[in-house]
Amino acid sequence: MHVRRAFCFSLLTLICMPALAAQDGKAAVAAASQAMGLDGVTSLYYYGSGATYSLGQNNNANGPWPKTPVNEYTRAINFSTPATRATWSTYATPVTGGAPALNTNGQQNATGASPWAQQLEMWITPWGFLKGAETNGSTVQTRNVGGKRYQVVSWDTPNKSPGGKAYRMVGYINADGLVEKVETWLDHAVFGDMHVEADYTFYRDNNGFKFPSEMVQKRAGWPAFDLQVLGAWPNPAKIATLIPAPAAPGAGPGAGGPPPGGPPGGGAAAITSEKLADGVYRIKSAYNSLAVEFADHVVLFEPGPQNEARALAGIAEVKRLFPNKPIRYGVPTHHHIDHTGGIAGAASEGMTLVTPAVNKAFFEKVLSAPRTLAPDALSKSGKKPVVEGFAGDKRVFQDATRTLEIHVIKGLPHADGLVVAWLPKEKILAYADMFNWPPANQPVADPPVIGTMVLVRNIERLGLDPSGGILSIHTMNPDRLVKLEEIKASIGPNKL
């Protein structure tokens, strides 16, 4: 087993690291381009196999992103256009065994008209970094990092972030003139100024054209894409075939390199509310929330779903329903980014975010991150996020008017620290990401859906009687509260 060279870079480390004053980077870039065989190269092609990882969907808030293998991965880049296209296949072995079966094909296209998060896949490559540095006024400093001496080249993209700042690209060139690392920062609704770093190691030579045989890209601290490069060629003859004209500018980021997008949805869907009981409302949209009234405040279950616009619109609806009571507590169901894409907006309201102890460090970290590339409601508010991490499996909100129990779900592979909300008087249960209506006229799933079985088993373990109805955070079809009997029927007899 070989040992990968490890780098631990941070913005603070770079600032504190002794270095020579920045100088014009043209000579350093030209020397590296020559060393890597880039002179006269206007396009390239490489292929291999590796994996993509689902950003923000880790099973434990403190662990790595989940991995999906990719096979037959190819990427072509035309720097003169500029444009890039990646294609890949993912194979899966059937549960019952047997030969691998084709599962999915995918592709990623980007052009110079695409959003920067998609174009980035061109310019973060070692060759793309040098091509970008040639035309964007680079500077260079000499630094010692991890006992090695590097020429550190930086350049600002012509693309501006939502906050008006240019995106900065930083590359590390070793003594052989090879680009070992490129890093940058992308705006992200949950992670703020999200650190993106790509390591390039074990270089090979194809008639003077140098390419790394291993690529590892990390986002927010964990691998988001890795590739074992089996071959690479400069100026492929059929570049027009490799990169056909896209159907539309910026079409389909796909996976082919990590998906650059953040949580789903760019704006707020229409927000309405539905009274479930006295002082208990469903805040309705593509994702639901549950607002629960107490004597002098409100608790909001799932306060930051999807994105900031959705979260703030939902909070505005709660304020309309309860104009004289603050939202004192917000309880996210779990840490996944589709459920926390608007969590910074929730924190900007000053509510205390309540979560199991396993998630506390994650929420504190992401909510304390710089948010300079896309200033949001939290960064503009100047408020310090407050996160309460409760110990054990239960957190109870209670006063003379009402009781609301928050229970940690046990045995769910999907996410550690996922919670449900239980109103014992109203007999209403709210949950996320376990049961969804099976397709109409379809037979009972065999084997049964794991999340559905886990939901039923936890309801039985806790001795709950949700006869008042079970509310899904995800809007389902039909859009209504369901009964426990319906959920059990979707599993089938004798399978619990």
Rounded mean pLDDT of the chain? Answer: 90
Q: How far apart are CA 288 and CA 428, in angstroms?
A: 14
| CATH 3.60.15.10 boundaries in the chain | 272-491
Choose which CATH entry (3.60.15.10, 3.90.1300.10, 1.10.10.10, 2.40.170.20) describes domain 272-491: 3.60.15.10
DSSP H helices, 191-335, are 239-242, 308-321
Percent of the chain having pLDDT more than 70? 88
Burial of 52 (0-12, 13-18, 19+ CB in 10 A): buried
Q: How many CB atoms lie within 10 A of CB 483?
A: 14
As a whole number, mean pLDDT of residues 283-304 equals 97
Helix or strand (DSSP H, E) at 20: none
pLDDT surpassing 50 at residue 7: no
**Angle, in degrees to the nearest 10, between helices 116-123 and 126-135:** 110
pLDDT surpassing 80 at residue 468: yes
Residue 278 DSSP class? T
Radius of gyration of the CA atoms of the chain, in A = 25
pLDDT digits (tens, 9 = 90+) for 254-281: 344 554 444 555 565 689 999 999 999 9
Cross-strand bridge partners of residue 210 = 205
Type of residue found at 29: V
Cross-strand bridge partners of residue 390 = 356
pLDDT digits (tens, 9 = 90+) for 471-485: 999 998 889 999 999
pLDDT surpassing 90 at residue 249: no
Residue 174 DSSP class? -
∠ CA 166-342-222 to the nearest 5 degrees? 65
Which position has the token pair 């043209």? 26
Helix or strand (DSSP H, E) at 167: strand 166-173
- 24 contact partners, CB below 8 Å, separation of at least 6: 138, 139, 140
Q: How many CB atoms lie within 10 A of CB 205?
A: 10
What pTM was estimated for this model as a whole?
0.89
76 neighbors 243 (Cβ within 8 angstroms): yes
Using a CB cutoff of 8 Å and minimum separation of 24, what contacts does 158-167 make?
A: 159/116, 159/119, 161/116, 161/187, 161/373, 161/374, 162/187, 162/373, 162/374, 162/375, 163/187, 163/372, 163/373, 163/374, 163/375, 165/372, 165/373, 167/116, 167/120, 167/373
pLDDT at residue number 99: 55
pLDDT at residue number 323: 97
CATH architecture of 11-242: Clam (2.50)
Phi, psi of 163 (to 5 degrees): -85, 0
Using alpha carbons, list the distances in angstroms from residue 87 to 42, 54, 122, 245, 252.
Answer: 20, 17, 14, 15, 12
Burial of 493 (0-12, 13-18, 19+ CB in 10 A): exposed
Quick one: pLDDT band at residue 416, thresholds 50, 70, 90?
very high
As a whole number, mean pLDDT of residues 330-337 equals 98
SS3 labels along 94-148: CCCCCCCEEEEEEEEEEECCCCHHHHHHHHCCHHHHHHHHHHCCCEEEEEEECCE
| CATH 2.50.20 boundaries in the chain | 11-242
92 neighbors 100 (Cβ within 8 angstroms): yes
Highest mean pLDDT among 88-97, 153-162, 269-278: 153-162
Q: How far apart are CA 75 and CA 112, in angstroms?
A: 16
